[in-house]
Amino acid sequence: MGKLWLSEKMLSKCFWQSLRSSIYFGEASADSDFIANITAKKVDEFPSIAGSISVTSGIYLWLLSKYFSPKVVLEIGTYIGRSTLAISFGGRSSITDLYTCDGTYNCLNFTDYKSDKLATEKSKSIDQIKYFGKTMSTDMLKKILEDGKKVDLIFIDGRIANEDCNLLAQVMNEGCVIILDDFEGVEKGVMNAMMLRSVFRGMILIEPPIENNSHVGNLAMLVPTNLLTLTRQQSLPVNM
């Protein structure tokens, strides 16, 4: 008897395609544009330039944060906070704590991003952000471990160390999803994925979205296999 094989590539294709058809796509796009505008002004206050996520990646991060409805989120690589805000706005109805660290910079104050142009609930979501400036991921992970917090969603936009993998294993909830930026060529996202997959063997890789035969953005995901659920329903019982 043959089996119905699903490869990581097949899953990746249909996952992103469905996410793009989310009813929240319009709001995610508008928010991602808004975030790009308000954060761009911050770059001049930083001593050097590190690069930020693209508007497209901002849309997907927003939608992923809505889709997985995490309570506790961890981000490695804050810089000007573009990705932090996308996660925060998309996940505003579920997130209780959003830990984010940057090993190089310590010049960001998230309350600067509050304004009259921001809906009240999005402005409030900024209060859940716990910024660790000039703090490497290893130190922030130790702090989360000490606090006894379990993490549901992780976004990595920095370079992790071997020690981080062991700490991640201790702070991750069973269904924790890891999102990686810069997943292309030999960029940091690919290096991080290789390191993480050697520790978290039960996770599958969702490759970056493809449109018209080329990659759109460079976000990839590592998802625990036990999160895969088949449904006979046309619509999913999640926020899509």
Ligand X SMILES: C[S@@+](CC[C@H](N)C(=O)[O-])C[C@H]1O[C@@H](n2cnc3c(N)ncnc32)[C@H](O)[C@@H]1O
Interface with ligand X (CB under 6 A): 50-53, 76-83, 101-105, 136-137, 157-160
Q: List CB contacts of 105: < 8 A, sequence separation 6 or more.
A: 46, 47, 50, 78, 79, 133, 134
Cα distances from 213 to residues 181, 185, 206, 210, in angstroms, run: 20, 17, 16, 6
Cβ closer to ligand X: 105 or 200?
105
Q: Going by DSSP bridges, is the β-strand pair 97-102/220-224 parallel, antiparallel, or unpaired?
A: unpaired
Cβ closer to ligand X: 189 or 209?
189
Helix 55-68 / helix 82-90 crossing angle, nearest 10 deg: 40
Measured from the CB of residue 83, what is the shortest distance to ligand X in angstroms? 4
Measured from the CB of residue 226, what is the shortest distance to ligand X in angstroms? 28
Cβ closer to ligand X: 13 or 159?
159
Q: Which residue is nearest to ligand X (CB)?
A: 158
Residue 177 CB neighbour total at 10 angstroms: 22
Cβ closer to ligand X: 81 or 208?
81
